Structure 1
Amino acid sequence: MSLRLYDTATREVREFEPLVPGKVGIYICGLTTQGAPHIGHLRFTVAFDILRRWMIRGHGYDVTFVRNVTDIDDKILRRSAEHGRPWWAWSYAHERETTQALDVLGVLPATYEPRATGHITEMVELVELLVDAGHAYPAADGSGDVYFDVQSWPAYGELTRQRIADMEPATDADPRGKRDPRDFALWKGVKAEEPASASWPTPYGRGRPGWHLECSAMARKYLGDTFDIHGGGVDLRFPHHENEQAQSRAAGLGFARWWMHNAWLTISGEKMSKSLGNSMIVSEITRGVRPLVLRYYLGAVHYRSTIEYGDTSLDEAQASVERIESFLTRALTATGTQAQQVCVDARESALPAAFAAALDDDLNVSEALAAVFAHVREGNRALAEGDSSRVADELRAVVAMTEVLGVNPLDEHWSQTPASSREHAVLDTMVNARLAQRDTARAARDFASADAIRDELAAAGIAIEDTPAGARWALHH
């Protein structure tokens, strides 16, 4: 089947064809390194990691994946000043923390991960192109600002299907130097209250780049004037992506042929953000939640659907991961195979048709996971029937599919991260031993001892649920 993806610009799912046969260029707006990343931030990284993995594994594309780092920005300057830190030190510390969080969740490293501050020359060149073409102008107030003239570009607003007359004024700079309040800043002149190190010389005076300019210049640098896919969170569509497209195309560039946007991760119906005070920092949440479980949770819902975070969300993800792990563990024992050999074999094996069809349908991960669990059920039936050949087939299939989704429990990555699968397996053995003792005590009607074991496990952060199939345990979140 051909890969079909939803294009935000056309608002339709259509067949994807790369600009250059066999090669795909993807640009994703990365994080602004103003603070530690929370799980709402990482929703987009997991979604586009699945896209990248599927393009490689399912279609054999050579993917160039660019995810930028916005390391100079109003928020960075403000927050670093509030904490009495140099802006570049503040930014770099959070860039490293973001990199660590992505690695913990098994997100593949980008082909290129350019920093905005490393591409000032390319940004100034783009500004000059726009000024020369009559689509940008230096502010007349002597501020050193340079603005994009939205009225000069009739297509402005086409990405989000808005009319200029209906738009709110741009709030990225003092409006006094603008011809139109909706004009946005390409370049921001140096300000007395900002550190001198946060500015660079240009023909328009010292200053620093506007946010939108950064991404246009870096995308052009690494992917060329025209490239395949530009993606990011749905909140970036306007003004960020609208402005990127306008300034790039006004400069004569083809820019992105496809726009893809993932929905938010919300809590109590609101976007998870630092301003709401409800952020869940990745480094903190993975103290009590296995990274594999968190990765599964963030990637289990269609990328265009909102994820509502609740008290039981991670419990449900953990139960799903444990169903997969239980089958894989039993299947490895039944077939006498080694985990890493199965991983190698699975990467070369054909993927189940239902799974491939689901991902070709605009990355329908819900249906893809349904295919995974269908094969888990079939594998469990084969185990019960003692059919080792079928078990081996289902083992390879499940590993191959979960590898594409980035949640293969047998991948060595998960044994190298905190609260890893290996540690969980050890904990599982120890807890189940105590549960067996509890069952023995209950069978002997020694309820005091049984309750004492339950209380002991609860004090250690382990919740017990008695089901018809026996006791189940989970870590408190």
Structure 2
Amino acid sequence: MHAWPASEVPALPGQGRDPRIHDTATGGLVTLAPGPVARIYVCGITPYDATHIGHAATYNAFDLVQRVWLDTKRQVHYVQNVTDVDDPLLERAQRDDIDWVALAEKETALFREDMTALRMLPPRQYIGAVEAIPGIVPLVERLREAGAAYELEGDIYFSVESDPNFGKVSHLDAAAMRLLSAERGGDPDRPGKKNPLDPMLWMAAREGEPSWDGASLGRGRPGWHIECVAIALDHLGMGFDVQGGGSDLAFPHHEMGASHAQALTGEFPMARAYVHAGMVALDGEKMSKSKGNLVFVSQLRRDGVDPAAIRLALLAHHYRADWEWTDQVLRDALARLDRWRAAVSRPDGPPAEALVEEIREALAADLDSPAALAAVDRWAALQHERGGTDEGAPGVVSRAVDALLGVAL
């Protein structure tokens, strides 16, 4: 599966800073100081509907992580999956009387278009669950052989008790885990499981649903968590720098994935930092496909909204914050974009070197994009009020905003 084209990231003078970012597993800030190649895995979409603002906010957060790392002169190895076979996709295809493969391909193509328009840097590997199945099956077999998995009526489950570090990502108690498991794709009430929290690794073939040859596992399809583990281990290995996604993935998805990987390898942790973006609401409720309260990036683009303004609307909120999309949020972003473009369109302006450092400092402080925007606002205000004599300043500002914030002026 191919990703989307990369926009050029301008090189800036000076040196970026290693970011300090909130790690869910430790509950505090950690410094992301990888080697020459930074490794990041961000969980992708289940393509049964178009990209909404909640998705865009999550991918914007991890795009900032990449841009900060690139500014430190590192390379970035970014991997993302596509869950192109799963119950929600199959259910939507059946509801709309469309082939599930065609639905997944259509929505994945639209996602690529949205990411391109928003100038999100693409992953080096963009892997679908279906194409990952040949690598998933041996992992499930290894877990079963090691006694970390068991069969129940043809399905294969992972035993959470096989990982002594289970629970160290989300730090939730058993009651909270059980509740979230039921809400987020698990089956804690299924009779016969060793532990209600045990997640499915391999689902035996169901009539009328797609299935693949699972060798000793029989025909079936993979569970959600093992999909990401197989892709991450194959391309990044254990101990990669950042596991990213929305805050609703901390449990069960990232918790279970970590335990799968740790049981497979005997190493801990799977990722050095677990970083989670907040949720975006609409009309007082979390924006989600299941509720249907969505604002689609593609629809905003069709309505003529500049993607740079959409990106500024996302950047106006701290990545970890839960916030609500409103018409005013978009109006504010459009007005800010107009002010910034007017400011950099003049032939000279106030010196910009200090501004570049302010943006770097803000992003290094747990990706504080609102502070970064405020710094650019102050420079633009000076430009409008008094102007300046530095002929290179507007160009420096344009390049910095592009390189560090992904906004093309």
Q: TM-score normalized by structure 1?
A: 0.76
1:286 offset after TM fit, Å? 1.7
* Partner residue in 1 for 2:165: 155
Residue-pair matches, total: 382
Query: Given residue 103 of structure 2, which amino acid in structure 1 is its aligned partner?
Result: W
Equivalent of 2:310 in 294, 297, 303:
294
- Could you report, residue by residue, the CA deviation over 1:91-123 in whole angstroms, capped at 9, with x for unpaired residues? 111110111111111112211111111111211
Question: What SS does the corresponding residue of 1:68 show, helix, strand or coil?
Answer: strand
Q: Structure 1 residues 2 and 89, CA, compared in 2 at 3 Å: closer, same or farther?
A: closer
Q: Matched residue of 2:359: which SS?
A: helix
Alignment partners' CA distance in 2, 1:358 and 1:36:
32
Q: Is the 8 A contact 1:302 1:366 kept in 2?
A: yes
- Which residue matches 2:357? 353
Query: Residue 175 of structure 1: SS of its match in structure 2?
Result: coil
Distance in structure 2 (CA, Å) of the matches to 1:96 and 1:227 = 28
Structural RMSD (CA): 2.0
Instruction: Check the 8 A contact 2:282/2:294 in 1, yes or no.
Output: no
Deviation at 1:264, TM superposition (A): 0.8
Closer, same or farther: CA 202–301 of 1 in aligned 2, 3 Å: same
Q: Give the corresponding residue for 2:408.
A: 408
8 Å contact kept, 1:263–1:303: yes
Identity %: 36
Change (3 A) 1:350 1:187: farther
> What letter corresponds to residue 177 of structure 2 in structure 1?
M
Structure 1 Cα separation of the partners of residues 66 and 277 of structure 2 = 14
Residues 399-447 of structure 1: per-residue CA shift (max 9 Å, x gap)? 13311101131xxxxxxxxxxxxxxxxxxxxxxxxxxxxxxxxxxxxxx
Structure 1 position 73, deviation (Å): 0.5
Name 1:327's counterpart in structure 2. Answer: 343
> How far apart, in 2, do the equivalents of 1:71 and 1:47 lie?
23
SS of 2:29's equivalent in the other structure is strand
Call closer, same or farther: CA 1:205–1:306 in 2, change over 3 Å. Answer: same
> How far is 1:275 from its partner?
2.6
Letter of the structure 2 residue corresponding to residue 304 of structure 1: R
Report SS of the residue matched to 1:193: coil
- CA–CA distance in structure 2, aligned partners of residues 380 and 24 of structure 1: 39
Is 1:22 aligned to residue 23 of structure 2?
A: no
Letter of the 1:397 partner, please give it. V
Which ranges of structure 1 fall in alignment gaps of 5 or more residues?
336-345, 410-477
Q: Distance in 2 between matches of 1:107 and 1:22?
A: 22
Corresponding residue for residue 243 of structure 1: 256
Contact 2:177 2:252 in 1 (8 A): no
Structure 1 position 200, deviation (Å)? 2.8
Higher relative contact order, structure no. (Cα contacts within 8 Å, ≥ 6 residues apart): 2
2:8 maps to: none
- Matched letter for residue 236 of structure 2: L
Answer whether contact 1:233 1:263 (CA < 8 A) is retained. Answer: yes
Q: Deviations over 1:435-471 (max 9, x none)?
A: xxxxxxxxxxxxxxxxxxxxxxxxxxxxxxxxxxxxx
| Residues 1:181 and 2:196 are matched in the alignment | yes
Partner of 1:368: 372
Deviation at 1:165, TM superposition (A): 5.9
Q: How big is the shift at 1:381? A: 4.5
Q: Which amino acid aligns with 2:67?
A: R
Which residue of the other structure, out of 202, 211, 221, is the alignment partner of 2:234?
Answer: 221
Runs of at least 5 residues in structure 2 that lack an aligned partner in the other structure: 1-16
Q: Which residue of 2 aligns with 1:204?
A: 217
Q: 1:179 to 1:9 in 2, by over 3 A?
A: same
Residue 51 of structure 1 aligns with which residue? 65
Q: Which of 142, 147, 165 is matched with 1:129 structurally?
A: 142
Deviations 1:153-174 (A, max 9, x none): 3322221112346531744358
Specify the alignment match of 2:103 in structure 1: 90
> Which deviations, in whole Å up to 9, do the C-alpha atoms of 1:50-75 show, x marking residues without a partner?
11111102x11110111111101111
Partner of 1:281: 296
Larger of the two Rg values belongs to structure: 1
Contact 1:212 1:244 in 2 (8 A): yes
Q: Which moved more, 1:395-404 or 1:37-46?
A: 395-404
* Aligned counterparts of 2:298 and 2:18: Cα–Cα separation in 1: 38
- Confirm or deny: 8 A CA contact 2:315 2:373 kept in the other structure: no
* Residue of structure 1 equivalent to 2:274: 259
Aligned-partner Cα distance in 1 for 2:38–2:205: 38
| 1:334-357 residue CA offsets vs partner (Å, 9 max, x unmatched) | 69xxxxxxxxxx9xx896322211
Name the structure 1 match of 2:287. Answer: 272
Q: What is residue 40 of structure 1 aligned with on the other side? A: 54
Q: Residue 113 of structure 1 aligns to a residue in which SS?
A: strand
Contact residue 375 and residue 397 of structure 1 kept, 8 A:
no
Q: Distance in 2 between matches of 1:166 and 1:375?
A: 47
More helix by share: 1
Aligned residues of 2:32 and 2:241 also touching (Cα < 8 A): no
Task: Give the partner amino acid of 1:153.
Answer: D
**C-alpha separation between the residues in 1 aligned to 2:18 and 2:296?**
38
Which whole-Å CA distance do the structure 2 matches of 1:219 and 1:376 have between them?
42
What does residue 446 of structure 1 align with?
A: none
Whole-Å Cα distance in 2 between the matches of residues 233 and 265 of structure 1?
Answer: 10
